[in-house]
Amino acid sequence: MAIHFLLSSKAKTLSLKAIYAGGEDKAYGTFCKLRWADTDGEAVCPRCGTLGAYAMKTRRRFKCSACSHQFSVTSGTIFANRKMSFTDLLAAICIVTNGAKGVSALQLSRDLGCNFKTAWVFSHKLREAMAAETKSHNLEGDIEIDGCYFGGHVRPENRKEDRKDRRLAEHQTGKRRVVVAMRQRRGRTLTGVFKSEDDSVGMIQERVRAGSLILADEAASWDVLHGWYTAKRINHSLAFSDDGACTNQAESFFSRLRRMVGGQHHKVSGQYLHQYAAHAAWLEDHRREDNGMLVRRALGLSLSHPVSRQWKGYWQRAQLM
Ligand SMILES: [Zn+2]
């Protein structure tokens, strides 16, 4: 009997043991190779684009031979001003991408023996870089669309006579958000976070090409999509799949996201929900790649992503607030 891909040795091409046994020089080499993939790891000046920078070996910095600009392998990227060593960064990416439903910052800080704040900001930077992979990607073909609500839980009162009708708007927290997923069959998964499914229609129009087939459930929010697309609807109270009409792939994305939020992070703020959704979509779309490939992909995305406006100096700013 054929074993599942994830159980086979082909799925496991990188381990923490290998990263730490390789040491700092080898990890640094991996960073250079992925930052300057087009020149096979040879440094390119980020200011003037000149090749052949002088390597200041002891400090792992470069000096451009043309404009004298000094830079490092992470300058201008999301890992600029890194505090972590190259091996720790590589190990952190490995731990996070190995987690099929992500890894909490607290757990990561325990595994690496680093500060919680470091692990928290690192994880968010990595998610931002992962999300950028599909930033300018649009979908076409058969697209499953669905929404799933998160947050805004109101704990019921202890005594029955004190309990309120939590379905009424005045008894809710206003923090409830819906993640809307658009998943192309044999393609990518794109996500967005909204107050209601109705609000997501603009994103769908923007990201799903005309002429596509939309597959969605009977929720009234999707009725308007019939104006732009061919749409097949499935009434989930009658069947989950009917003549090819189903949202099973969108559902399996939500299954991963619910387990990520409930099982790893326990509580996520609506402010960051879009990043967790993008992380789950990335894992879903690359679920059949070996873990060495996932680490190279995530590192490559991080090194081609500019400094994060949201996460650069996050804790310094947090202290000032
Ligand atoms: Zn230069």
CA of 145 to the centre of ligand 1 (A): 47
CA of 220 to the centre of ligand 1 (A): 56
CA of 51 to the centre of ligand 1 (A): 8
Contact assessment for residue 271 and residue 161, using Cβ atoms and an 8 Å cutoff? no
pLDDT tens digit sequence for 105-163: 999 999 999 999 999 999 999 999 999 999 999 999 999 999 999 987 777 788 888 88
CA of 55 to the centre of ligand 1 (A): 13
pLDDT tens digit sequence for 151-200: 877 777 888 888 877 777 777 777 889 999 999 999 999 999 999 999 99
CA of 182 to the centre of ligand 1 (A): 42
CA of 52 to the centre of ligand 1 (A): 10
CA of 132 to the centre of ligand 1 (A): 27
CA of 31 to the centre of ligand 1 (A): 20
User: What whole-number distance in Å separates Cα of residue 298 and Cα of residue 133?
Assistant: 9
Long-range CB contact pairs, 32-39, < 8 A, 24+: 32/73, 34/296, 34/299, 34/300, 34/303, 35/73, 35/74, 35/77, 35/303, 35/304, 37/300
